[in-house]
Amino acid sequence: MSTLDLKSNIANLKSASPPGPKAHWLTGVMRDYQNDPLGFATRCAREFGDIVSARFLYVPCFFIYHPDHIEQVLVTQQRNFIKSVSLQTPFMRRLIGNGLLSSEGEFWKRQRRLAQPAFHRERINTYSQTMTAYTERMLASWQTGETRDIHEDMMQLTLEIVAKTLFDADVTDTAREVGQLLSVIVEPFSYQASFKWILDNRLPTPMNRRFHRTAQRLDEIVFGIINERRASKVDRGDLLSMLLAALDEDGSQMTDQQLRDEAMTLFLAGHETTALTMSWTWYLLAQHPEVEAKLRAEIESVLGERTPTMADLPALKYADQIIKESMRLYPPAYAMGRQALQEFELGGYRIPAKSQIFFFQYVTHRDPRFFDEPEQFKPERWTEEFVRQLPRYAYFPFGGGPRLCIGNSFAMMETVLILVAIAQKFSLKLAPGQAITPIPGITLRPENGIKMILEKR
Ligand code: HEM
């Protein structure tokens, strides 16, 4: 649609704003959202429908829930949108800088082009061995009867995998430290959109100082990996080598700062999300022994005692369905946002330029219009027939359009392989007496981890 068409369409619209919750004159809906982000987003959808107007301080925001509207923003009219302001806060800028997740325009296009080959299917296939080898190495230290924080284990495992596959760096020795640093650094994101968040981002509060200290230590580790590689001058064929070798049109190379931003983005985007998928999957499996039994039967018939390889993936259909269903109920990226460049039309409403548009995987994935018994964990629902009739953006754990997650195939392969390699050897039972609460920060994490008791098969 041309800009002219867009303008004439908008001129014919009703001028009323979409309905929305009562907003405080100063803070808007900030406090209600902050008290319970997922509950608030869910209630808004129930009470006000597919397009909801919700102001945060002076910033006009819209929550959108319908797959067709999400598709309009992410795909058909994507040129009218950039990433939302949540990626522009000082903490976020300090963390991932101008890496793939947050950059825009021609610069983003170039970086995406450079990074893409590392994620091509043939290339990812070569990573499968690292994924299973690292999983088996972890399992060798597991004892039957012991209680472990499975979320911590999954975080360490996926961090080691992403470091080895994309940067050919063995972080086994530093993985625990990096894991701890990352979990400290993402802490303040659990109270985004609050006054505390605004102040901590800008003033030298104790949290602000802790954040910057942690970022500094993380930088030292990442710059260490970059410097080592620059000094060795060996092309190891991994993503870091490709980024190091990449030349701009004017012949200049990527700066250390840009390399650091890309590396930090990939560490963060590539390990916590997959770790969370695994943590939530173990949590769900422990509550559904019938699903676990069916998974075990599939493993027995496809693999027996053999280590899974990527060639086995097409046959591990039920494992794939389990992961899909787990990401439906607990999408690690539980919400995403965009900012409108120009005024646009959505579902008959006129949405002003500079509005922040938010969509919630957590809510749309549980919409009874698209998912029968939406609160139930039912991997069986993911038949080919079901997928064919599902509106494209009723399920979007990896986002969509040109900014679709670059690591989606990587993540699907990794999570299925880890699931199968572990379930082949252990059964995981929830340790009694814990309340598992999903906390929406940058991603959807279990508040105090997930303690599980190991039972050797
Ligand atoms: C289950 C695992 C994962 C989930 C749920 C997930 C989710 C997402 C989502 C929703 C986006 C889109 C954000 C937006 O458009 O605003 C995204 C982008 C991205 N993801 Fe993932 N991701 C996962 C795994 C990975 C992995 C394994 C990597 C890399 C190793 C990765 C790297 C990235 C990067 C670099 C982007 C930005 C892409 C761009 O804008 O060009 N992700 N991810």
Residue 452's pLDDT band (boundaries 50, 70, 90)?
very high
Question: With 60 as the cut, is the pLDDT of residue 233 above it?
Answer: yes
Measured from the Cα of 410, ligand 1's closest atom is: 27
Give yes or no for a contact between 114 and 247, defined as CB atoms under 8 angstroms apart. no
Residue 1's pLDDT band (boundaries 50, 70, 90)?
very low
N- to C-terminal Cα separation, the chain: 58
Percentage of the chain surpassing pLDDT 90?
71
Measured from the Cα of 361, ligand 1's closest atom is: 10
Query: What pLDDT digit, counting tens, does each position of 352-392 carry?
Result: 999 999 999 999 999 999 999 999 999 999 999 999 999 99
Using alpha carbons only, give the angle 72, 390, 286 rounded to the nearest 5 degrees: 115
Counting the structural domains of the chain, the total is 1
Ligand 1 contact via 405 beta carbon (within 6 Å): yes
Distance, in Å, from the CA atom of 115 to the CA atom of 127, rounded to the nearest integer, reads 16
Ligand 1 contact via 38 beta carbon (within 6 Å): no
Ligand 1 contact via 99 beta carbon (within 6 Å): no
We report the CATH number of the domain holding residue 232 as 1.10.630.10
Distance, in Å, from the CA atom of 34 to the CA atom of 279, rounded to the nearest integer, reads 24
Tokens coding 435: 């309340």
Query: What pLDDT digit, counting tens, does each position of 269-306 carry?
Result: 988 999 999 999 999 999 999 999 999 999 999 999 99
Distance, in Å, from the CA atom of 130 to the CA atom of 133, rounded to the nearest integer, reads 5
Range(s) of the domain holding residue 78: 3-456
361 CA distance to ligand 1 middle (Å)? 14
Query: What pLDDT digit, counting tens, does each position of 29-64 carry?
Result: 999 999 999 999 999 999 999 999 999 888 999 999
Give yes or no for a contact between 149 and 450, defined as CB atoms under 8 angstroms apart. yes
Ligand 1 atom 37: the closest Cα is on which residue?
A: 101
Query: What pLDDT digit, counting tens, does each position of 99-152 carry?
Result: 999 999 999 998 998 888 888 888 888 899 999 999 999 999 999 999 999 999
Tokens coding 214: 């942690």
Using alpha carbons only, give the angle 65, 78, 333 rounded to the nearest 5 degrees: 50
348 CA distance to ligand 1 middle (Å)? 31
